[in-house]
Amino acid sequence: MNKPFYALDKPKSKGVVLGNEALARGVFEAGIQVAAGYPGTPSSEIMETLAEIYHFYPDFNIEWSTNEAVGFQVSLGASMCGARAFACMKHVGVNVAADAFMTASYAGAHGGFVLLSADDPNCYSSQNEQDNRLYGLHALCPVFEAINVQEAKDIIKYAFDFSEEFKTLVMMRTTTRLNHARGDLTLGSIKKAEQKDYNFDEDRSRWTFLPSNARIQRVTQLERYEKLREVSNSFPYTILNIHDGAKIGIISSGIPYSYVNDALLKLDLTNNVSTLKLGMVFPQPEDLMLKLFEHSERIVIVEELDPFLEDFAKKLAFEHNIPIEIEGKKFFPRNGELNLSKVIKGLTGFLDIPNPFINLPVDTHDLHKASPRPPVLCAGCSHRHTFYALKLIEQKYRNASIIPDEMVEPCYSSDIGCYTLGFYKPIEAIDTCICMGGSIGMANGIAKLHNGPVFALIGDSTFFHTGVPGLINAVYNQNNIIVVILDNSATAMTGFQPHPGTGQKITGEPGTKVPLEQIVRGTGIQEDHLWIVDSNKLKETTNAIEQAINIEGPSVIISRHICSLLEKRIHRDKKVIPVEIDEEKCSNCMICISNFGCPAITMKNKKVSVLQLQCTGCKVCIDVCPNGAIHLKEDT
């Protein structure tokens, strides 16, 4: 394997890298000893890049943990031993880790500890767009932000030094636009971890949060916070730029600052405003802010999502009795992602000058519209087959009920993963998706009231993540639910990461496979309430579903077939025998398209046809066609 650019031991060389690669490089340059986390867009590539670097420098520890709470705790344990530790997750992952995080931040760090939170304004690949800067305030934990790929590397590297110097946890907060952006990066030197024994820190009372210790730690935390408030003013990546005579002051940080920079260039205002760019967004640099207030007549704060800096600035002005106008969310939306156009619009609005770019784009009003391209389950996806089986049984009962329209519909309480795409046409078998592991928990509650069958649909990785307690609850309380575990041997949605059920580690080295069915059996579920089926065998799956509907008490169906995209990646050279359509038999009823919906089946010249390059040869559509018109290509 060629050494990728970001693994080179050549300080000062230049390349173009992904934000996540730069972050991984920074963590590596800092000389970490333990990295742990759980996949989640847009953070996943950080851990994957570290694992790639590990191949060339296998002198640190790295793992995908079962979930974010465990990942955080693993890194915390390493920090307790005095080692540099890194925990990596997406924004909502921090909610899962929050119990540990909130208390650990009292004690702070022993070895440098950095928690990366990758936020996702505009919910590009998330269930919400929460602003995790607020966690900094909540836990009194410093929060750092970078404006570009270079700073991302530099700041996260510095964060470890900072963490050790002030004995504090540090949160590095990024957003999709940094994680998934590319930019030029100049490499720095790689710090080698100190060669010494890293044993557990003997300061027991620091790590044991009995009430008596907790009260003492809380005081330590508050004292540390006072120090951090001070330090924030001299944070090396926080820059105050006062322009003489400027009446306007702008406060910003992270990616929004990069828009501010370019907006000022575009508007030719760079020398007419003062700026305060924060590298540390919590605690905020009060002295610098006050200085900016002093030199300005009006202040505008450009930040994404919540008015985090704005609220603070207003409070600061109030406390110091400074009657200065401070604006923010009045000109910049609180939801979604900012971009250059929105920032120019906001700034021109604030300055009350015309937006000179409003008429730049061509008029597309009278042109055709491109049809939307929503994501769909892949060709041959095993999830589609499980869904189809569920729908078949549902329809069977609908057809059999005396007044068809009065059947109580089943409820498909569901979860997060590729299978959530089953919400869309033609499947439409997803009724809920709130948080990882939530499907089973919510099903427990729904089943207490809903009269129809209640399913919980959950992926294998999600089941390991937080699904197990919900199942234990159902068994314990005898809640009448059918848990369908969609086991495709991968964390597919976020990029096919391995998980406990696959037995493979992030480094590619073998771990121990944790058998899913053993966990299910271990909850005490009755043996005749458990089915393990092949998702690609419709008959097997429908039989299991039908039996499960007709028994009382909780039951589990493990519907198992490897993710078709992953299979293609693993067996690149395997010959695929696609299916084709027998035009004689095909009535062009479009059932295979409209009701089943494999994207490999399409219409060509008004006839149903199979895209030969896309078809994975899973053969399931053969059973779906009522006319027997689909067959394997070899058959003819």
Partner 1 sequence: MALDTKNHGNIKKGNHIEEKDNYNALCVGIGGTGVIRASMILGWAALQEGFKVRTAETHGMSQRGGSVSSYLRFGKTLENPFMIEGDLDVLLAFEISEALRNLNFVNKDTLIIASTNSVIPPSVLTYQTLNIDMNKCVGCGNCLAHCVPNEVFLESRYKNSYTLIKGPTRRVINGYTRVLQSCTGCSQCIIDKVCPFDAIEAYNEFEYPEISAITKDIQSVAQDVLILDANEIAINAGNILAANVVLIGTLAGMNRIPLSENVLKETVKQFVPKKAIDVNMRAFERGFQEGVNFRQNL
Q: Say which entry of partner 1, ligand SF4, ligand TPP, none residue 322 contacts (CB below 5 to 8 A, set by partner kind).
A: none
**Exactly one of 169, 263, 416, 446 binds ligand TPP (CB under 6 A); which one?**
416
What residues numbered 59-98 form the site for ligand SF4, per CB under 6 A?
Answer: none
Q: Say which entry of ligand SF4, ligand TPP, partner 1, none residue 96 contacts (CB below 5 to 8 A, set by partner kind).
A: ligand TPP
239 binds partner 1 (CB under 8 A): no
Element spanning 342, H or E: helix 340-351
Point out the residue whose Cβ comes nearest to ligand TPP. 459
Closest separation in Å from C-beta 629 to partner 1 = 11
Q: Where are the alpha helices (DSSP H) in 478-551?
A: 516-522, 538-549
Q: Say which entry of ligand SF4, ligand TPP, partner 1, none residue 93 contacts (CB below 5 to 8 A, set by partner kind).
A: ligand TPP
What does DSSP say about strands 14-18 and 601-604: parallel, antiparallel, or unpaired? unpaired
Only segment of 58-66, 226-234, 354-362, 523-531 that touches partner 1 (CB under 8 A): 354-362
* 60 contacts 33 by C-beta, under 8 angstroms: yes
Site string for ligand TPP, 433-462 (x = CB under 6 A): ---x----------------------xxxx
591 binds partner 1 (CB under 8 A): yes
**Exactly one of 373, 572, 574, 575 binds partner 1 (CB under 8 A); which one?**
373
In the three-class reduction of DSSP (H, G, I as helix; E, B as strand; rest coil), residue 611 is classed as coil
Q: DSSP letter for 62, please.
A: E
Q: Say which entry of ligand SF4, partner 1, ligand TPP, none residue 461 contacts (CB below 5 to 8 A, set by partner kind).
A: ligand TPP
Q: Which residues contact 168 (CB under 8 A, 6 or more apart)?
A: 105, 108, 109, 141, 142, 162, 224, 228
* 488 contacts 460 by C-beta, under 8 angstroms: yes
In whole angstroms, what is the distance from residue 317 CA to residue 55 CA?
52
Given the complex with ligand SF4, which of 64 and 388 has the nearer CB atom?
A: 388
> What's the start-to-end Cα distance of the chain, in Å?
43
96 binds ligand TPP (CB under 6 A): yes
What residues numbered 102-161 form the site for ligand TPP, per CB under 6 A?
Answer: 126-127
Phi and psi at residue 501, to the nearest 5°? -70, -15
**Exactly one of 232, 439, 491, 559 binds ligand TPP (CB under 6 A); which one?**
491
Site string for ligand TPP, 494-533 (x = CB under 6 A): x---------------------------------------
Given the complex with ligand TPP, which of 68 and 327 has the nearer CB atom?
A: 68
Q: Which residues contact 426 (CB under 8 A, 6 or more apart)?
A: 594, 595, 596, 597
* 140 contacts 221 by C-beta, under 8 angstroms: yes
What residues numbered 481-520 form the site for ligand SF4, per CB under 6 A?
Answer: 488, 492
In whole angstroms, what is the distance from residue 456 CA to residue 484 CA?
6
What residues numbered 360-399 form the site for ligand SF4, per CB under 6 A?
Answer: 377-381, 383
Phi and psi at residue 102, to the nearest 5°? -60, -40
What residues numbered 213-272 form the site for ligand TPP, per CB under 6 A?
Answer: none
440 alpha-carbon distance from chain centroid: 20
Closest separation in Å from C-beta 373 to ligand SF4 = 15
* 362 contacts 346 by C-beta, under 8 angstroms: no
**Exactly one of 619, 623, 627, 633 binds ligand SF4 (CB under 6 A); which one?**
619
Q: Say which entry of ligand SF4, ligand TPP, partner 1, none residue 491 contacts (CB below 5 to 8 A, set by partner kind).
A: ligand TPP
Residue at token pair 């009194």: 140
In whole angstroms, what is the distance from residue 7 CA to residue 447 CA?
52
Q: Which residues pair with 497 in a beta bridge?
A: 491
Tokens standing for residue 137: 């305030």
How many other C-beta atoms lie within 10 A of the C-beta of residue 167?
A: 16
* 487 contacts 460 by C-beta, under 8 angstroms: yes
Given the complex with ligand TPP, which of 90 and 342 has the nearer CB atom?
A: 90
Q: DSSP letter for 69, please.
A: H
What residues numbered 93-152 form the site for partner 1, per CB under 8 A?
Answer: 124-125, 147-148
Q: DSSP letter for 510, please.
A: B
Q: Which residues pair with 116 in a beta bridge?
A: 88, 172
605 binds partner 1 (CB under 8 A): no
Closest separation in Å from C-beta 496 to ligand SF4 = 7
- Report the 3 state secondary structure along 452-476: CCEEEEEEHHHHHHHHHHHHHHHHH
Closest separation in Å from C-beta 563 to ligand SF4 = 3
Site string for partner 1, 169-198 (x = CB under 8 A): --------x--xxxxx--------------
Closest separation in Å from C-beta 110 to partner 1 = 37
340-351 and 254-267 helices, crossing angle to 10° = 60
Given the complex with ligand TPP, which of 344 and 418 has the nearer CB atom?
A: 418
346 binds ligand TPP (CB under 6 A): no
Q: Which residues pair with 532 in a beta bridge?
A: 558
300 binds ligand SF4 (CB under 6 A): no
Cis peptide bond upstream of 372, omega within 30:
no
258 binds partner 1 (CB under 8 A): yes
17 binds ligand SF4 (CB under 6 A): no
Residues that bind ligand SF4 (CB under 6 A): 377-381, 383, 418, 488, 492, 563-565, 578-579, 598, 600-601, 610, 615-621
Residues that bind ligand TPP (CB under 6 A): 38-40, 68, 90, 92-93, 96, 126-127, 416-419, 436, 459-462, 488, 490-494
